[in-house]
Amino acid sequence: MAGLELLSDQGYRLDGRKATELRKLQARMGVFTQADGSAYLEQGNTKALAVVYGPHEMRGSRSRTLHDRAVINCQYSMATFSTAERKRRPHGDRKSTEMSLHLKQTFEAAVMTQLYPRSQIDIYVKILQSDGGNYSVCVNAATLAVIDAGIPMRDYVCACTVGFVDETPLADLCYAEENGGVSSLALALLPRGGQIALLQMDARLHQDHLETLIEAAMTACKGVSKVLDEVVRQHLQEASVLTGE
């Protein structure tokens, strides 16, 4: 069988999107009341749940305490039912550990940790259904959860993956595209200042194309940020209506 045609001559991708179009993004904030902040986010078929506890006192090993800012603790996991084949180990494998680390780095760059010295912020993210772009969906969900928890951030952190096919950057890759031999790049952006919180790529890509690819990723991230902003405003409105009564 011939491999998948990721981008047709007419400019449509496998699922009917054009190169720069994002998947449908839906989100809800404050899905749990027990936690300090929570959010549920769907980006196409990738669905993630993010929960935030804190800032609170250091728990566990106190030796990790930082005296000038808060420690961010991230844990990434995938539900056993999130992939086509049942996953044996929901967390703790190499991939999850790496992902946890990436999330931690991303949020250390975005959260104003210096406001909470000697304390800890826990961010738990679970992928409920995986269809590509897990990292970016986690970042987007966690952003909403952090906002829901009322922890000050410099800006939204918005993430998006982009791939490079036929000299064209494709925004927001789905699983089939990620696995179709595309060099993909994940980028987390603080959209207002245009600062990059994290950039990760482990595929081969020619240096000449890197700039266009980053450009495309930033545009896509800004698209994501618009949607997130709407979600936050919508949520606030609902909340204020409720409390206003």
Partner 1 sequence: MLKSKTFVKKTRSGGVMKVVREHYLRDDIWCGSEVCTECKQESTVLQKDACMESSLCSYPHYLVPDTNVVLHQIDILEDPVICNVIILQTVLQEVRHRSAPVYKRLKDIIHEKEKHFYTFTNEHHRDTFIEREPGESANDRNDRAIRVAVKWYTQHLKTFESDTDGLKVVLLTNDQGNKQKAQDNGLLVYKCEEYVKSLIANPELVDRLALSSDDKNEITSSKVLFPEHLPLSRIQTGIKSGSFLQGTFRASRDNYLEATVFVQGEGEDSTEVLIQGLQNLNRAVHQDVVAVQLLPRSEWVAPSSVVLQDEGTGKDDEDAEEEEGNLRTAAAEAARKPTGKVVGVIKRNWRPFCGMLNVSQIKESTRHLFTPADRRIPRIRIETRQASTLAGQRIMVAIDGWPKDSRYPNGHFVRSLGGAGEKDTEEEVLLLEHDVPHQAFSQAVLSFLPKVPWAITPEDMMKREDLRPLTVCSVDPPGCTDIDDALHCRELENGNLEVGVHIADVSHFIRPGNALDKEAASRGTTVYLCGKRIDMVPELLSSNLCSLRSNVDRLAFSCIWEINHKAEILKTRFTKSVINSKASLTYAEAQMRIDDTNKNDDITKSLRGLNKLAKILKRQRIEKGALTLSSLEVRFHMDSETHDPIDLQTKELMETNSMVEEFMLLANISVAQKIYDEFPECALLRKHPAPPPSNYDILIKAAKSKEVEVHTDSAKALADSLDAAKVDGFPYFNTLLRILATRCMMQAVYFCSGMDSDFHHYGLASPIYTHFTSPIRRYADIIVHRLLAVAIGADTTYPDLMDKHKQSALCNNLNYRHKMSQYAQRASVAFHTQLFFKSRGILNEEGFILFVRKNAIIVLIPKFGLEGTVFFDSKDKVSPNIVFEEEGPTLSVEQHKFHIFDKVKVTISLDDSNIQHQKIRMALIEPVIPGVSVPAPDTETPAKKQKLDR
Separation between Cα atoms, residue 200 and residue 179, nearest integer Å: 17
Closest distance of CB 166 from partner 1, Å: 9
Closest distance of CB 129 from partner 1, Å: 8
Nearer to partner 1, 57 or 166 (CB): 166
Nearer to partner 1, 15 or 238 (CB): 15
Nearer to partner 1, 74 or 174 (CB): 174
Separation between Cα atoms, residue 10 and residue 168, nearest integer Å: 13
- As a residue count, the chain comes to 245
3-state secondary structure of 161: strand
Quick one: which of 163, 154, 123, 150 has its CA closest to 139? 123
Q: Report the interface residues with partner 1, using CB under 8 A.
A: 1-2, 5, 8-10, 12, 14-17, 23-24, 44-45, 84-85, 131, 167, 174, 176, 204, 206-208
Separation between Cα atoms, residue 22 and residue 28, nearest integer Å: 18
Closest distance of CB 123 from partner 1, Å: 27
Nearer to partner 1, 148 or 177 (CB): 177
Beta-carbon contacts of residue 18 (< 8 Å; ≥ 6 apart):
11, 12
Closest distance of CB 70 from partner 1, Å: 38
- Helices marked H in 116-206: 134-149, 175-178
Nearer to partner 1, 20 or 119 (CB): 20
Type of residue found at 185: L
Closest distance of CB 10 from partner 1, Å: 5
Closest distance of CB 227 from partner 1, Å: 12
Nearer to partner 1, 66 or 210 (CB): 210
Separation between Cα atoms, residue 149 and residue 126, nearest integer Å: 17
Beta-carbon contacts of residue 128 (< 8 Å; ≥ 6 apart):
47, 48, 49, 79, 81, 82
